Amino acid sequence: MYCPSLQNFQNDVLAFTARLAEFEKKVEPLSYPDDENLLTELEEIMSFGLESCHRINHEIKADAELLKETQTNFREATATWCNQSWIMNRARTKPRGFPGDYQMLMAIYDGVPLARGLGGYLDRWCLQMTLGRAVNSRLELAKTFLLAELSQKTKAMKVLDIASGPGREFRSMHSQNLACEVEISCLDTDEGALEYVRRHVQKQTPANFTFHFSSHNAFRLRSPEKVIKLFGRQDIIYSVGLADYIPDRLLVPMLASWKDALNPEGCVYVAFKDKNYYDEVEYQWLMDWSFVQRDEQECRNLLEQAGYDMNNVEVGRDQTGVIITFLARPAHMLQNRFSQMKHQPSPPIRAANSSVKRTSVDSSSN
């Protein structure tokens, strides 16, 4: 059946790829992407492509099969150029089975383009996207939370990090003078992520930190008995990325099991992305990278369904407005000790044709 909207979109894709091809001619193949004028030009080209994606997404989103097919066709049509980006190519090809693997997270944390030539400029464009900034902000909040909890303890603490990824929140903690013994269990299905923590992060932590590693599937931790059997009761259970990939029907029992596997004065810390503050089309169309779409109230509802008393939960935002954090602890321990967990002014979603915050480039990782 002839569809004018799809025909118009196909014409837009041809125009988009033609502009990418012309842009590529201006870029030295092995050059480092530090020409700000070229980056500005690329931003305009990418905005043009995303505007077209937004229009067709609105037109056909009710037809899930057609939407998926059209997104796939778009990525195939743009592969010659977009797959030169290390970030886009990794998200699209998913070498470890999913787009947000630990190496992807490290690339975003470091904020340094890994490709060269056209791919390097596309990497820079990706790094300054809304979620690129939010993921770094989320990491800093996790560091602040952990230090706030551990710095005031003298007794031994047990910490369970669910979907630990590269464990960057623990890096450089060797400089902290923490009085308590800390036993950290890193849980991740990706053995590569666990090996990274074992080889590169563990040695940058204080001598009183002990690490354990488990590749158990977090999806199966849907009862407190299972959590306790595998790891024992915990003082801190936290997860800062996993929840955005898990449907409600699985996440509710997981959240409940975390709460019920705590020691009497333990706490649960979990982070979500708020769908109202980032543009899902950018990630779905360009990268084949999707998240469960939730706003703050929907996240609150999940916690309530899992048995959390929301009167005992501190809710916070990161500076981008995207990341919502929930810190649940026993009522008698609520003291607003985690000063960063306050509502921040939240910016609106960045439209596809609007400017983004320009990030500087550095040839060395942080």
Rg value, the chain, Cα: 22
364 within some domain: no
Out of 108, 128, 148, pick the residue that ends a domain. 128
Same domain, 308 and 175: yes
Per-residue model confidence (pLDDT) at position 172 = 72
pLDDT single digits (tens) 185-220: 999 999 999 999 999 999 889 889 999 999 989 988
Model confidence over 295-307: pLDDT tens digits? Answer: 999 999 999 999 9
Helix ranges restricted to H, 35-190: 36-60, 64-82, 86-93, 102-110, 118-127, 130-150
pLDDT at 2: 54
Pair 191, 329 in one domain: yes
pLDDT grade for 3, boundaries at 50, 70 and 90: confident
* Residue 105 counted as domain residue: yes
Within a domain: 345? no
pLDDT in tens, 239-270: 999 999 999 999 999 999 999 999 999 999 99
Counted domains in the chain: 2
234 inside domain: yes
Whole-number Å distance between alpha carbons of 280 and 285 = 8
CATH of the domain at 228: 3.40.50.150
Full-model pTM: 0.89
Tokens of 6: 């799809």
Residues 233, 329 within the same domain:
yes
Residues 219 and 117 in one domain: no
**DSSP per-residue string spanning 173-196:** GGGS---S-EEEEEE-S-HHHHHH
What's the average model confidence in pLDDT over 48-65? 97
Question: Residue 343 domain-assigned?
Answer: no
In terms of domains, do 161 and 199 share one?
A: yes
**Does residue 247 sit in the same domain as residue 145?**
yes
Q: Is residue 339 one of the residues assigned to a domain? A: no
Domain with 235 in it: 134-278+290-333
Please classify residue 2 by burial: count the beta carbons closer than 10 Å to its beta carbon, then call 0-12 exposed, 13-18 middle and 19+ buried. exposed
Asked if residue 169 and residue 87 are part of one domain, the reply reads no
pLDDT at 357 exceeding the cut of 80: no
Over the stretch 99-155, which tens digit does the pLDDT of each residue have?
Answer: 999 999 999 999 999 999 999 999 999 999 999 999 999 999 999 999 999 998 889
- Domain assignment present for residue 87? The answer is yes
Q: Say if residue 115 is in the same domain as residue 201.
A: no
Determine, yes or no, domain membership for 284.
no
Q: Do 59 and 150 fall within a single domain?
A: no
Which letter, b or e, does each residue of 207-241 get, where b requires 16 or more Cβ atoms within 10 Å of its Cβ? eebebebbebebeebbebeebeeebebbbbbbbbb
Model pLDDT, residue 19: 99
pLDDT reported for residue 353: 37
